[in-house]
A and B are shown apart, each in its own frame.
Chain A
Amino acid sequence: MDHCHNNLTHIDIPEGAKKIVLVGNPNVGKSVFFNALTGLYVDVSNFPGTTVDISHGRYGKDVVIDTPGVYGISSFNDEETVARDVILSADLILNVVDAVHLERDLFLTLQVIDTGIPTIIAINLMDEAEEQGLKIDLDLLEDLLGVPIIATIAVKGKGVSEVKNRIFEARTGIIPSKLKNRLESMMNRIGSWGEALLVLEGDPNVAERHGVPPGELREEIYRDRRYRVNDIVNHVVTETEEGATFGTMLGRYMLRPWTGIPIFALVLYAMYYLIGVLVAQDIVGFTEETVMQGLYEPVVRDFVGRFISEQSIIGTILIGEFGILTMTVTYVLGLLLPLVVGFYLALSIMEDSGYLPRLATLVDRVMTSIGLNGRAIIPLILGFGCVTMATITTRILGTKRERTIATAVLGLAIPCSAQLGVIAGMLAGIGTKFIAIYILVILLVLGITGKILHKVLPGESSDLLIDLPPIRLPRGENVLKKTVTKSYAFLLEATPLFMLGALIISGLQLSGLLESIQVALAPLTEGLLKLPKETATAFIMGLIRRDFGAAGLNDMALTPAQTLVSLVTITLFVPCVATVIMIFKERGNKEGALIWLSSWVFAFIIGAIVAAFVI
């Protein structure tokens, strides 16, 4: 029995404390209950071996653990695996259910009940159900499920304290007798009702943990469960009126290309204003220049300088031009962090409002032509923020093949926000024709790279199959929490990479290699790209920070045509060291090396082609 509790080793659970686990479909308002139970002191920890973060806190002497929103307990993706393991270790489950979508949500509810773990249900969004003309017979539902049900409107605080007070009334619900008999016959081998259920449903990981072959009954159990859900819904829900609400109609308009594309353009413009103008100019100007370079760096230089000379090897590494304590910290905290927060804020709003899955649907057609599906829009959008962050996000994609394509496209053709600012500034000065050529070339490279990879990579990409949740006004608290959690996770994962990157560059600089690369590159830039040989230096600087590279070009006297060629080349040129390390980490050495080398080659070949035409 003990082995099923090993999944939560990273969470400190005091002796005798009960594990209260929150379970629900995505966006049903679980977090309000989590916050109400735990109060202010909450820990967020990464679930070992995944990118999934789960929050946990205390309710009295007991531990409350949140789970990612899922549609069922199984292992179709990382989030489900994590939710599955947390749920299986629970002593008590609080299942939050969306009253408007009982048909969808009750599938998970019945599965939770089938695990035999004591359960209590908060049936949330009762006001929305009423607005949409849905009447739910809660007494009957309680009888049919066999567990206590509390009607709530979490955002208005209605029913929340009742859930808190009655949480220990959770009890084991009604398990259909056919399933019950099957589970009972497995108890002597498996020892836990919930784990037996998952084995029966053919979950490969749980079966392996118990050293038994996975069962083959998923289909049958799922089907029976679906019939029960439909039957229950038919009995407890009465629809008093039908007709599309404003939210439903808006949701449809987001999907139809004629209205969906203008809406997407509007959203992009809003994002550009939030991130490109507010964050990149005003906030970063303050955090990077005033705070980090103005206040922080002199203090660190002075302090470290007391012990080690800045000219010594260690001094150069720590506080030199590309120092770990100077440039890296400034870059990560002063420049990247505000931008990353901005991007995650925008993304969380899009996610919680229900827009993101509709956008994924809208762009699915285009994405499938490069071997991705609509969901890949998420890493691609994030790439304009920070390619390192976007590379981490490729993990949400369904297959290895899609992750490779997305990573390659990101590494090659998506300019991150750090360089985008400088690039946009330089583009502004070279005339509409050249701007159009620049955008066209980059899009062509993106499309062709994706298409080629789609052709040559073996296997098949996964298809789009997503729930379109209702359009809702996102809740500030939720959006902020998501933004903070994701930004923090990014800092934690990316900072060491940026430090390692700075270390490598300092090493190259100290050993004189940086200079040799510049010298070796010079004939290439002069001959192929028809640019002054100093541009080689700018390209090399781009290895450290993409904006250094772009800014280096900005300082040179280039003709508009030369500017175009250099911008195309530097956009396509290899991503910064931190991204490269992340690519190697995510995609392995062979693929990483291939992606890295091909961006050198592509950047110069395509730069040369453009140069041949315009210079």
Chain B
Amino acid sequence: MMTLSQAKRGQRLLIAAIPNPTIRAQAIRFGIAEGAEVECYEKLPAGPVVIGRGKQEIAIGRRLAENIEVQPA
């Protein structure tokens, strides 16, 4: 299984699993529920991963990104 931290810039992804329930609830509000298709917009060296859909952009800390499971879309 691939994690969000392994995504490359420009890659399209399906969010497969977000383990932490609080993070999951917050992520749903931003539109990245499990099953959502997102694009990796930016990836800072050893830093946060920026993903989004359309005009919506969200920055996710690296450690958190390591815990979010994704699949290439």
Q: A-side interface residues toward B, CB under 8 Å?
A: 71-72, 74, 76, 100-101, 103-104, 107-108, 132, 218-219, 222-223, 225-227, 229-230, 239, 248, 251-252, 255-257, 357-358, 360-362, 364-365, 368, 373-374, 463-468, 470
Shortest CB distance A11–B (Å): 27
User: Bound state CA distance, A126 and B23, in angstroms?
Assistant: 31
A255 lies within 8 A of B60 (CB)? no
From known contacts A373-B61, A468-B57, infer whether A252 and B41 are also in contact, taking CB-CB under 8 Å: yes
User: Bound state CA distance, A295 and B44, in angstroms?
Assistant: 54
Select which of B44, B53, B56, B61 is within 8 A of A362 by beta carbon.
B44
Select which of B50, B56, B62, B63 is within 8 A of A104 by beta carbon.
B56
B24 lies within 8 A of A219 (CB)? yes
Shortest CB distance A126–B (Å): 14
User: Bound state CA distance, A463 and B30, in angstroms?
Assistant: 16
User: Bound state CA distance, A222 and B25, in angstroms?
Assistant: 7
Shortest CB distance B64–A (Å): 4
Q: What 9 pairs between A and B have smallest CB-CB spacing?
A: A464-B61, A365-B47, A463-B64, A463-B61, A468-B57, A361-B59, A222-B28, A72-B29, A226-B33
A residues less than 8 Å from B24 (CB atoms)? 219
User: Bound state CA distance, A76 and B24, in angstroms?
Assistant: 12
B21 lies within 8 A of A463 (CB)? no
A-B pairs with beta carbons under 8 Å apart, 19 shown: A74-B25, A76-B26, A103-B31, A225-B28, A229-B31, A230-B36, A255-B44, A255-B59, A257-B45, A360-B59, A361-B44, A364-B62, A373-B61, A464-B60, A464-B64, A465-B27, A465-B64, A466-B58, A468-B58
User: Bound state CA distance, A227 and B36, in angstroms?
Assistant: 10
From known contacts A226-B28, A465-B64, A467-B30, infer whether A361 and B47 are also in contact, taking CB-CB under 8 Å: yes
Q: 20 other contacts beyond A103-B54, A222-B25, A466-B59, with CB at 8 A cut-off? A: A71-B29, A74-B25, A76-B26, A100-B55, A103-B56, A108-B29, A218-B25, A219-B24, A222-B28, A222-B29, A223-B28, A223-B33, A226-B33, A257-B45, A364-B48, A365-B46, A365-B62, A374-B48, A464-B64, A468-B59
User: Bound state CA distance, A71 and B26, in angstroms?
Assistant: 9
Select which of A74, A222, A468 is within 8 A of B50 by beta carbon.
A468
A365 lies within 8 A of B44 (CB)? yes
B residues less than 8 Å from A252 (CB atoms)? 41-42
A residues less than 8 Å from B59 (CB atoms)? 255, 357-358, 360-361, 364, 374, 464-466, 468
Most buried by A among B21, B55, B56, B62: B55
Shortest CB distance A254–B (Å): 10
B64 lies within 8 A of A257 (CB)? no
User: Bound state CA distance, A71 and B61, in angstroms?
Assistant: 19
By beta carbon, the residue of chain B nearest A258 is B45
By beta carbon, the residue of chain B nearest A76 is B26
User: Bound state CA distance, A226 and B23, in angstroms?
Assistant: 15
A residues less than 8 Å from B50 (CB atoms)? 255, 361, 468
B residues less than 8 Å from A225 (CB atoms)? 28
A residues less than 8 Å from B60 (CB atoms)? 463-465
User: Bound state CA distance, A218 and B59, in angstroms?
Assistant: 23
User: Bound state CA distance, A470 and B58, in angstroms?
Assistant: 11
Shortest CB distance A608–B (Å): 36
A residues less than 8 Å from B64 (CB atoms)? 463-465
B residues less than 8 Å from A364 (CB atoms)? 44, 47-48, 59, 61-62
Shortest CB distance A241–B (Å): 13
User: Bound state CA distance, A373 and B48, in angstroms?
Assistant: 10
Shortest CB distance A376–B (Å): 12
A465 lies within 8 A of B61 (CB)? yes
A residues less than 8 Å from B29 (CB atoms)? 71-72, 104, 107-108, 222, 226
User: Bound state CA distance, A365 and B47, in angstroms?
Assistant: 5
User: Bound state CA distance, A52 and B60, in angstroms?
Assistant: 25
Shortest CB distance B58–A (Å): 6
Shortest CB distance B32–A (Å): 9
User: Bound state CA distance, A107 and B25, in angstroms?
Assistant: 12
User: Bound state CA distance, A226 and B42, in angstroms?
Assistant: 24
By beta carbon, the residue of chain A nearest B66 is A463
Select which of A251, A256, A373 is within 8 A of B57 by beta carbon.
A251
Most buried by B among A103, A218, A357, A373: A103
B residues less than 8 Å from A361 (CB atoms)? 44, 47-48, 50, 59
Shortest CB distance A240–B (Å): 13
User: Bound state CA distance, A232 and B62, in angstroms?
Assistant: 32
A104 lies within 8 A of B44 (CB)? no
Shortest CB distance A159–B (Å): 21
User: Bound state CA distance, A567 and B72, in angstroms?
Assistant: 55
A residues less than 8 Å from B33 (CB atoms)? 222-223, 226-227
A470 lies within 8 A of B48 (CB)? no
Select which of A100, A104, A248, A368 is within 8 A of B30 by beta carbon.
A104
From known contacts A222-B29, A368-B63, A467-B30, infer whether A256 and B56 are also in contact, taking CB-CB under 8 Å: no
B residues less than 8 Å from A368 (CB atoms)? 61-63
Shortest CB distance A104–B (Å): 5
By beta carbon, the residue of chain B nearest A362 is B44
B residues less than 8 Å from A257 (CB atoms)? 44-45
Shortest CB distance A245–B (Å): 9
Select which of B25, B30, B31, B42 is within 8 A of A255 by beta carbon.
B42
Select which of A74, A248, A365, A466 is within 8 A of B45 by beta carbon.
A365
By beta carbon, the residue of chain A nearest B20 is A463
User: Bound state CA distance, A219 and B45, in angstroms?
Assistant: 33
A residues less than 8 Å from B44 (CB atoms)? 255-257, 361-362, 364-365
